[in-house]
Each structure stands twice: as C-alpha cells, then as structure tokens.
Amino acid sequence: MRYGWLSGFLLLCFGKLALAQLRYSIAEEGRVGSVVGNVAKDLGLDISTLVDRRYRIVSGTNHALFNLNLNNGVLYVEKKIDREELCETTACVINLKVLVENPLEIHYVAVEITDVNDHYPTFPDTEQHLEISEHIPPGTRFQIHAARDPDAGIHAVRVYRLSANDIFDIDVTDSEEDKIPFLVLKKPLDREDKAEHALVLTALDGGNPFKSGKLNLTITVLDTNDNRPIFSQDTYTVSLVENAPVGTLVVTLNATDVDLGLNSEIEYSFGKTQKKKVLDTFSLDSITGEIRVKGTVDFEDTETYRLGLQASDRGQPPWTAEGRVIIKIKDVNDNKPDIEITSLSNVVPEDLKPGSVIALISVTDRDTGVNGKVNCQISQQVPFDLTPSIQENIYSLVVKGQLDRELKSDYDITITATDCGQPPLSTVTSLSIRISDVNDNAPTFSRSPIELYLVENNIPGASIFSVSAFDIDLNENAAISYRILRGDGPKNEMSSFLNINNDDGQILAVKSFDFESLKSFQFKVVAMDSGTPPRSGNVTVNAFILDQNDNAPVILYPLSSNGTAEGMEEVPRNVPAGHLVTKVRAYDADLGYNGWLLVLTTGSYVTTVSLVWTAILDG
C-alpha cells in the first residue's frame, strides 16, 4: 500500500546510473503478503523487463521484512512486523535499497511502520507499598510508579484513574516521554481509624477500544502518638474479703492505646494524690496492671477504698489517662461482740420489786450484717434476767424475783454475748451486784421463853442476868436497844424492881428478893432495832427465886420453958429396941435442902432414961 504520495523523483544521469526515492506507510501487525506498494509502477519501470533487469532489494534496515514480486513489481510484507520490536522511538521508518540493472538504477524506498494499539499499559510491578505518617498534612504528593505502553501516539498511556476513596487523589505530571502519576493526600490520615488503605491505580491508553493496566497500591499509615490510653472501664468496682492474705489479686487493670509500638505500651501507676493508707494496703504492678493486697485489710477500719490510677503510654511526649478503682471490703466474722454495762447502781436494795431495772446492757459488734447481730444471755441461778428493748442489741437487767440480802448479799452475774456469724464469736463479762439491807427483819432472841433463876438476898443494884437479841439486818437496822415491858398483876409487880441497860441488855435488880415472900414472877424484854420504821421482838422471862438457908428451924413440940426442944421422957424397963419414946415436931421456912431438919440428942443412962434435944439443925 502506497502511502499516498510520491515524495520525490530524482533522476540523475551519471552515465547509466539513475536514483529515485519512494515512501510508503503500512500498519504493523499486518498479515504476511500484504501489499506495501507497487514500486515498479511508481518508478515507471517496465514490468515486463523486471526479470531480465534483475529487479530486487539489495539492502536496507530490516529489508528481510519485505520482498518484491518480479511479476508485477509489488512490494509486499514477507514477515510479520512488530513496530515496538523494530523501533524504540515514536517514528518508525524502514529504509530499503531497490536495484535494477541494464541500465543500472538504484532506488530508495522508505516504509513507515505505523502503530496499532496492540499493547497494554504496564507498571514495573503489580504492587507498590507506601508508608505515610498520620501527621502528614493534606496536599502532600507522593510519586508512584508510572505505567509504560510501547505503543505510540494516541495508543500510549493517556490517563490514570484511582479507585474511589475519600482520602487520596491522583495527579499527573507530563514529562518529555511519560505521564508521571502522583498520589495526593486529600484528608488527614488516622491510623487508628484505618491503618491501611488498599487502592487500585489504572492506566489507560488512547486506543479505541482502550487498553488498561493496573497497579495495586497499599498505603500503610505510620503511627504517631496522637491517642491517649483508655481504661476498659471508667471505674472498676470490686469486692474483697477482709483479712485477705498478702498477695491476693484484687483486680487487673486493662488500658489500651490504639497507637502502635512505644506509643501503645502502657505503664500503670497510682495517682499523684493517692492516700498513704491505700499505698500501705495495696500494690500495683506497673506492667501487668495487677492490684494485689500488700497490707492488712480490715473492714472495721475501712469499708471502702477509692484508688486513683493513671495509665501512661511511652510515646514522646507521653499521654496519660485517669482511672478509678473502688474496692468494697466484705465483712467476715472476725470481731467478738463488745459489752458495755451502764449500771444504775451496783448496790440495789433487797426490797426492789421484780421487774425493776438495775442496769442497761449495750452489746455492739464491729462486724456487720448477720455478724453484727448478737444474742445476749445471763448466767443462770440468779434472781435477775435480761429483757431486750425495742432497740437492737440493747438489754435491760431487771430483777426477776424477790431479793433477800440475808440469804445472799452479793451476786456475780456472767453475761455472754454471742454473734450470729460463722463460726460464732462470744464475749463474756461479769457484773457484781451487792444487795443493800432494808429493815425487813425484827430482832429475835435465841430462845423464848427464858427461864431465869435468881438467888434470894441478892445485892441490890447488881446485874442478875443479861438478855441478847440478834437482828440479821445490817447497821442501824441491826442496832438493838432493850427495855422491860411492865406487866400487870401481883406476879408482875417485881418487874418494877428491875432495870435493864438499853444498850447491852444487862438486867439489874434494884432490891433483894425474898424467896419466902415471892417464889416466881414474869416479865417481858423488848428488843427494838434502829431502822425506819423500827422493828421489835420480845421475849417472855419467867423468873424463879432460888431459896437460900436464911431461916432457922422452929421447934413446935415439945417445947421447954425456954422454948428449946428439951424434955424428959420416961421409958419402961426392958423395952425392946425400936420402942417409940416420943416425937419431936419442928418447922423451917426455907425450902428444899435448906428446910430439911436434923435432930441432935444428948443424955445419960440412969435408972431412968433421960433424953435431951440440944439442937435441931436444918439442911
């Protein structure tokens, strides 16, 4: 196929030599045998002489690609032509030298190989990886691989297109040979929002239809320390049993930082204003975030701990987050109840009525819940009882029965308080109560009645007897005074001749007694205590006068002229022994042994028996 014009024809005559120049244009990739042009005709050669004149291509760049037909003078394609293999530049011309002889002629034929769109745009690699820091400002450009297309002109790379996204755009700069694409940052990058962007860059040529090539772009967003750590919880609330052993794990903190590397490595610490009590009780591992028991955990000392915490990354400069841990201590039954006794008086009168309150018992337990609930009991066998009040754990110690100081004057009361925990704990305390005396007993005498034996002829004013009464009360209630209760009647007249010492009960006779005048009499002694009101007791005293030998016998018969028992009795001769001679009659006013009589006789034996009573003696 002729290009369409004859670029020139020059005939120079140098003897028989002739020169001419032709220019043709064909598209690459045409089929073998395709006609380039009729060179003989265009040169004005006689076709019938071509064989004889040896019409042929003798030389030229890549002349083997073409051949001449001797029958018709046509230049045709001998081999398949690839413009991109033949030419490195956009213009691709194959120069041929055509020779004919007789006469000798040399002609130059130029064949321009025109481009067809037989190649795709290609990138040096199928993928390209970019690393862009997230602090890079929008508008920054990043050069990326340019696509190459060996086709020329309109069939070369004409356009770049970037896959749809909100962050990047594409910008193209034209160079002498290529179009250089640049990736342009439209918006700020946020690695924590998206750490990697996958894009596709498409290069398109200008063919119709166009051909394209693709480049996979991977943009990794490099981290900057633009995020602070965040605790998994704003406030950690945990429970911990009191008395937990040292080393017990309380809670594990968890803070995260969406940055990378050192920017995301977390270190934990207590807040700057943390109380010493917390620091003495708990430890914090700065790496693991584990909070463990360090000291004594006592619910009764502290029920709730509030820990201020910090989580800091290791970026430069570091970011810090604030956190909080609330540790609620769970009570266990580790405290015995406390018993507080408020005594109205440690001394109570024995006449206190049953139900009277003598003390208030307050029971407390430092533990809580069921561990603070306390049962209070009193020792048995005492006339007291515990009565619960409307207030929890408040008891009244009340009189349960009748008190009697004279039976028991002192009580040691054992009070036991036991909580309801598991195991239960108990506290025991004692309360001493003394029973004070009231004048509830009258003086009593050890025996009643009293038989008193008095010797007559006593000395007036001397003590004849002592009475004693006993009062089981105390002090003034037992201080006794005595008096004689005067009676009526003849037998009680003698009581008027008696006096008694009020303090010691000594009885004095103010005159002598005469058995022969009065042998007995009766009186009463009253013993009265000094209580208010006073109580008294009395005893009856039966007094008996004892006789003394204070009277001489009196002979009643026979009486002499001088009144003595003396007489003469005649006794017959030869009377037997035991013969009654006479009887003597005498009298003694004394009693008993003192009134027994003994007759003494004196005399001599003569012709007649003569008896003389010289004396009569009493006992």
The pLDDT assigned to 10 comes to 35
Domain boundary among 500, 517, 546: 546
Question: Does one domain contain both 270 and 204?
Answer: no
Domain that holds residue 191: 127-222
Among residues 516, 546, 576, which one ends one of the domains?
546
Model pLDDT, residue 600: 67
Cβ–Cβ < 8 Å for 73, 109: no
- For residues 542 and 448, membership in a common domain is answered with yes
DSSP string, 240-308: EETTPPTT-EEEE--EE-SS-GGGT-EEEEE-TT--HHHHHHEEE-TTT-EEEE-S---TTT-SEEEEE
With respect to residue 216, please indicate whether it lies within any of the assigned structural domains. yes
Separation CA 464–CA 501 (nearest Å): 12
Q: Rounded to whole angstroms, how far apart are CA atoms 413 and 433?
A: 8
Locate tokens 């037909």: which residue? Answer: 69
Residue 76 pLDDT grade (very low, low, confident, very high; cuts 50, 70, 90) = very high
Residues 97 and 166 grouped into a single domain: no
From residue 589, how far is each of 424, 458, 547, 566 by CA, in Å? 92, 18, 10, 21
Q: What is the mean pLDDT of residues 32-45?
A: 92
> Do 210 and 134 have their domain in common?
yes
In a domain, 301, yes or no: yes
Tens digits of per-residue pLDDT, 414-468? 989 898 888 899 999 888 899 998 999 999 998 889 998 988 888 888 888 899 9
Same domain flag for 259 and 304: yes
The pLDDT tens digits for 514-562 are: 888 888 888 899 999 999 999 999 999 998 988 888 777 877 777 665 6
Q: Tell me: cis bond preceding 383? Omega within 30 of 0 counts.
A: no
**Of 402, 436, 470, at which residue does a domain stop?**
436
Give the pLDDT confidence of 484-503 residue by residue, as tens digits. Answer: 987 665 555 666 788 999 99
Q: Give the pLDDT confidence score for residue 192 in this predicted structure.
A: 87
Higher confidence at residue 469 or residue 175?
A: 469
Residue with tokens 């009293």: 450
Split into its structural domains, the chain has a count of: 6
240 and 326 in one domain? yes
pLDDT confidence band for 567 (50 / 70 / 90): low
Of the chain, the percentage scoring pLDDT greater than 70 comes to: 89
Q: How confident is the model at residue 393 (pLDDT cuts 50, 70, 90)?
A: confident
Span 279-309, pLDDT tens digits: 999 999 999 999 999 999 999 899 999 999 9
User: What pLDDT is attached to residue 607?
Assistant: 45
> Would the pLDDT of 85 be above 70?
yes
pLDDT class of 251 with cuts at 50, 70, 90: very high
State pLDDT tens for residues 154-166: 888 999 999 999 9
Residue 149's pLDDT band, with cuts at 50, 70 and 90, is confident
Mean pLDDT of 122-130: 94
DSSP-derived 3-state class of residue 573: coil
Give yes or no for a contact between 56 and 98, defined as CB atoms under 8 angstroms apart.
yes
User: Using CA atoms, how far apart are residues 585 and 567, in angstroms rounded to an integer?
Assistant: 13
